[in-house]
């Protein structure tokens, strides 16, 4: 029988059990890309089955799926027709006033902007974006081997849900690693494994915030997603300025309940909180019964001096929750982080994790546990520290050479970026687009500031850019500033 469509339909061999799915998929694609026009009458199920040499049940099932999804419509006594998707969409949207927020949403979410699209890889000749590590040197072969081993072990285990707090081998590995790398004093029972540091912040907001009452102090400039999480939970968020010694503790309101800081490498300025400020902050937390959230997001990468002890190491009163992530030292798509929590917070945070997603990715957790336990994390960090140190030195020299008199580089000895303030009348926003048009991708520090803390400066990430392109990119940038 002659084929009823003007385009080919390619179905798997008989007996593959994939023929209905293939037919449904190809008809749906033809409707979406316009090869089957709205209003077109589709062949009868018996006719199409004979033409394709498949059972009629296969065609009926494919048509039923398309009907349920709204791609075709049945008309009594006339058959099946291709639906007019454009009319269906416009009819649905015509009744909605998209200029006004929908009252069914919680107040915080009614005016929330859409998420930005991810930046395409390789879109800039000189990419100085912040917070993105170089994953090209990651030992993927080792990771694949551990992942395969973990999968084999899981295939022999009973298919049950796991602990919300995280896999015990990974919590043990994390406790041992941060004890060695950051002198953080903890046991496996103190660790809650999360889907990146961002989930740790979200869980903390759930268990710490009483809407309209809890006061949360954040750094300004600082990390916007953390601020957003606590605002969404209903906290009263206050912005505390930062200077070259870190968060200005003297400006904390007396009724502050939660304090968020990045003491090892302030984001985005890069400064390190001084020893005096650390003691002052812990004393404030002890006196006022506040919790300090210590975000230690990239302190594995320190380049000359011995790192200052973490706040959690200095804490003697259970006032610090230490949050870490593997996104910077390994790769961002590995959504694994952790929180080291004081005893009074542990059960509540684990219960919040259970309610959020029950537990994290077991396969990834077991793979990472082996990766850490067998020494590969330490070796990888050591290798990347040298690579990043070379880039940092070249970047710092280039900023000092080409930006002399126009850029003030904030002191920083850790992490994956440097920050610089623009001195003089130059406005960072005024020429940012010109820089991007010239192939230079930068982030202004104003993106991370709130209210009056306007920072006329730039962040220079060196996680993505090759060392050979750094000086050339800075020289080109300073020519644009003039």
Q: What is the pLDDT, as a whole number, of residue 77? A: 87
Question: What domains, with CATH codes, occur in the chain?
Answer: 19-88 (1.10.10.10), 126-134+379-481 (3.90.1150.10), 140-375 (3.40.640.10)
Reference 234, options 200, 262, 267, 257; nearest CA is 257
- 152 φ, ψ to 5°? -65, -40
Local structure of 38: helix, strand or coil: coil
For 391, the enclosing helix (H) or strand (E) is: helix 376-402
Q: What's the whole-model pTM score?
A: 0.79
Residue given tokens 């003697």 in the structure block: 316
Q: What is the pLDDT, as a whole number, of residue 113? A: 61
Distance in angstroms (rounded) separating the CA atoms of residues 425 and 266:
26
Distance in angstroms (rounded) separating the CA atoms of residues 52 and 38:
23
Q: What is the pLDDT, as a whole number, of residue 88? A: 60
Residue 469: exposed, middle, or buried by beta-carbon count in 10 A (0-12, 13-18, 19+)? middle
Mean pLDDT by 10 residues, the chain (482 residues): 75 85 92 91 92 91 91 91 76 53 81 63 84 92 97 88 93 95 93 96 98 96 94 96 95 98 95 95 98 94 82 96 95 92 97 94 96 96 95 96 90 92 74 85 88 77 95 92 70
Q: What is the pLDDT, as a whole number, of residue 323? A: 98
Distance in angstroms (rounded) separating the CA atoms of residues 21 and 36:
18
Q: What is the DSSP string of 284-317?
A: HHHHHT-EEEEE-SSTT-B-SSPPPPPHHHH-SS
Long-range contacts of 228-234 (CB under 8 A, 24+ apart): 229/198, 229/201, 229/202, 229/205, 230/201, 230/205, 230/258, 230/260, 231/108, 232/106, 232/108, 232/109, 232/205, 233/205, 233/206, 233/209, 234/108, 234/209, 234/210
Q: What is the pLDDT, as a whole number, of residue 94? A: 47
């Amino acid at each position: 029988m002659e084929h009823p469509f003007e385009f080919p339909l390619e179905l798997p061999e008989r007996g593959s059990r994939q023929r209905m799915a293939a037919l449904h998929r190809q008809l749906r694609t033809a409707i979406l890309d316009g090869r089957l026009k709205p209003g077109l009458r589709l062949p009868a199920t018996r006719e199409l089955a004979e033409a394709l040499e498949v059972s009629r049940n296969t065609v009926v099932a494919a048509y039923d799926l398309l009907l349920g999804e709204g791609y075709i419509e049945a008309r009594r006594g006339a058959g099946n027709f291709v639906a007019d998707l454009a009319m269906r969409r416009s009819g649905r949207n015509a009744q909605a006033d998209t200029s006004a927020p929908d009252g069914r949403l919680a107040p915080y979410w009614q005016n929330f902007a859409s998420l930005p699209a991810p930046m395409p890889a390789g879109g800039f000749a000189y990419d100085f974006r912040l917070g993105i590590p170089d994953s090209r040197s990651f030992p993927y072969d080792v990771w694949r081997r551990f992942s395969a081993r973990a999968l084999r072990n899981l295939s022999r285990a009973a298919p049950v849900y796991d602990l919300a707090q995280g896999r015990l081998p990974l919590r043990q590995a994390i406790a041992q690693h941060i004890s060695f790398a950051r002198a953080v004093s903890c046991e496996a029972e103190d660790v809650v494994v999360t889907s990146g540091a961002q989930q740790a912040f979200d869980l903390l907001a759930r268990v710490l915030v009483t809407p309209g009452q809890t006061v949360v102090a954040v750094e300004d400039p600082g990390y916007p997603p953390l601020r957003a999480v606590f605002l969404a939970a209903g906290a009263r968020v206050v912005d505390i300025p930062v200077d070259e010694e870190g968060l200005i503790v003297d400006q904390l309101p007396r009724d502050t309940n939660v304090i968020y800081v990045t003491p090892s490498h302030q984001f985005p300025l890069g400064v390190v909180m001084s020893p005096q400020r650390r003691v002052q902050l812990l004393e404030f937390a002890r006196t006022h019964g506040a919790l300090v959230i210590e975000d230690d997001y990239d302190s594995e990468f320190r380049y000359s001096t011995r790192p200052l002890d973490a706040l959690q190491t200095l804490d003697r009163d259970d006032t610090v929750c230490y949050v870490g992530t593997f996104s910077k030292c390994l790769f961002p798509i590995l959504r694994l982080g952790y929180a080291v929590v004081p005893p009074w917070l542990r059960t509540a945070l684990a219960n919040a994790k259970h309610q959020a997603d029950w537990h994290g990715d077991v396969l990834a957790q077991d793979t990472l546990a082996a990766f850490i336990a067998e020494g590969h994390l330490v070796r990888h960090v050591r290798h990347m520290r040298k690579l990043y140190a070379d880039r940092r030195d070249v970047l710092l020299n280039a900023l000092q050479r080409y930006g002399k008199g126009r850029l003030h580089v904030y002191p920083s000895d850790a992490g994956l970026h440097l920050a610089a303030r623009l001195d003089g009348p130059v406005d960072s926003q005024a020429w940012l687009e010109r820089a991007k048009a010239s192939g230079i991708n930068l982030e202004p520090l104003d993106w991370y500031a709130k209210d009056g803390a306007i920072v006329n400066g730039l962040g220079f990430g060196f996680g993505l850019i090759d060392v050979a392109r750094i000086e050339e990119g800075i020289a080109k940038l300073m020519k644009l500033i003039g």
